[in-house]
Amino acid sequence: MAEWTKELMKWLGGGQSPWHTVEMAARWLEERGFEALSLNRPFSVKRGGRYYVENGTFLAAVTVGQKDVIRIAAAHTDWPCMRVKPQPELISGGCCRLSVEPYGGAILNTWLDRPLGLAGVVLLRTDDPMKPERRLISWDKPLLVIPNVAIHMNREVNKGVPYKANVDMLPICRTVQGEFEKNGYLVRQIAERLQVQPEDVLSFELCAYCCAEPTLLGFEEDLLTSPRLDNLSSVHACLQGLADAQGDGINVAVLYDNEEIGSNTRRGADSSTLTVILEKLALSLGLDRGALLDACLNGMLLSCDAAHAVHPNHPEYADFSCAPVLGGGVALKRSPRYSSDAETCAVIQGLCDANRIPLQIYMNRADLPGGSTVGSMASALLAMPAADIGVPILAMHSACETMCAADQDAFVRLCTAFFSA
């Protein structure tokens, strides 16, 4: 097994929610000499230093070299899932269900009949109402299942059946016999897990996540199937590339949240959070606004997100000529929805040629517009040249996705080369 495959599988297994992904990233960075900075306090940084800023489900890591040129690799910490509503308990058919709503564009039927866990964040009462205590939570075991309707009762199921999120996607969490107080049941479970009083649980944000373990498969064990390849493959590549790079500029790996729902939140790419961080870095380094703008304009942004591989059973959905395959290396995305342009594509091609990194070109089929990434928004806010790259995967936004394990090696090497150039 390749080194980066092992590392990626750790990220996939540990990133049970965006909150856990950022917590895992912070620990990983500290082990590699990165020092924590507080977003709401003055920065104290120096040349040659390594730093990170964590803000819940957002994280930015920085290495500060001698040159005032900024290079950024961006990824996102969220993925399509089911988010639990407040007061979610419902009783039906002798079972307790939880009311949820889909987050992002999930392929709903892939979530049925799978063991699901719960993970996220809980806010607890303190003496200061303006400063509740934040605690991450995970039960680290399957708790839920969304049951399908048997084919004997739904004879049309294999012909394609629409799913109603408020009916078909509600998971069950226990059976109910005899007396059962459903109101506050989930809060009581949270309180027990965190060893606090139920009345001290002020709010929570919980993801129902797929419990399937990252798995190598195939006769050659060259395929990797796992939940959350989109986009923890990019989280790993950005951070690994930053930590391993030998560059002498100001290098930044930024992990945004809420990409799957449009990015227009305080932790998303369509916000001023990264701009604020860069300005505070510049102030600490003694750079004026003009120098910061020059550092951005002379730099480049790499938007890292999963790409569509050619589907072996449905190649007709791919473009005629610009269609990445599993095992062919990193995909460079070129379409109007992405941030790549001719100039930045030339840079990526040159980096890959110089470092013998396999590269493929992805373009949407002309009549099938694809999704968007953080690249165009972040690039526009910073007026910075940008390119979109990622590993090709199958079944994007399914509960489990599939990639070629070797492509992660190419992805990490490209991020490292980008920061080192």
Q: Please state, as a whole number, how many other Cβ atoms lie within 10 Å of the Cβ of residue 86.
A: 10
Average pLDDT over residues 282-305: 96
Q: What is the pLDDT of residue 100?
A: 97
pTM of the model: 0.96
Q: What is the mean pLDDT of the chain?
A: 95
Residue 228 pLDDT exceeds 90: yes
Residue 220 CB partners (closer than 8 Å, separation 6+): none
Closest CA to 56 of 81, 21, 29, 32: 21
Judge contact between 301 and 382, C-beta under 8 A: yes
Segment 391-395 mean pLDDT: 98
Q: Of 246, 368, 358, 385, which is closest to residue 303 (Cα–Cα)?
A: 385
Q: In the prediction, which pLDDT does 376 show? A: 87
Handedness of CA 19, 21, 188, 100 (dihedral sign): positive
Q: Do residues 120 and 207 touch, judged by C-beta distance below 8 A?
A: yes
Name residues whose C-beta falls within 8 Å of residue 419's C-beta, 6 or more positions apart in sequence. 63, 71, 73, 241, 242, 245, 247, 251
* pLDDT per residue as tens digits for the range 78-125: 999 999 999 999 999 999 999 999 999 999 999 999 999 999 999 999
What integer pLDDT is reported at residue 187 of this predicted model? 98
- For residue 1, pLDDT over 70 is answered with no
Residue 39 has pLDDT above 90, yes or no: yes
pLDDT value, residue 98: 98
Q: What is the mean pLDDT of residues 372-378?
A: 87
Q: What is the mean pLDDT of residues 25-39?
A: 97
Confidence category of residue 17, pLDDT binned at 50, 70, 90: very high
Position 21 scores a pLDDT of 98
With a pLDDT cut of 90, the percent of the chain lying above it is: 90
How high is the pLDDT of residue 375? 86
User: Which pLDDT band, with edges at 50, 70 and 90, does 335 fall under?
Assistant: confident
pLDDT at 406: 96
Given a cut of 90, whether residue 67 has pLDDT beyond it is: yes
Could you give the domains of the chain?
3-79+227-420 (3.40.630.10), 81-210 (2.30.250.10)
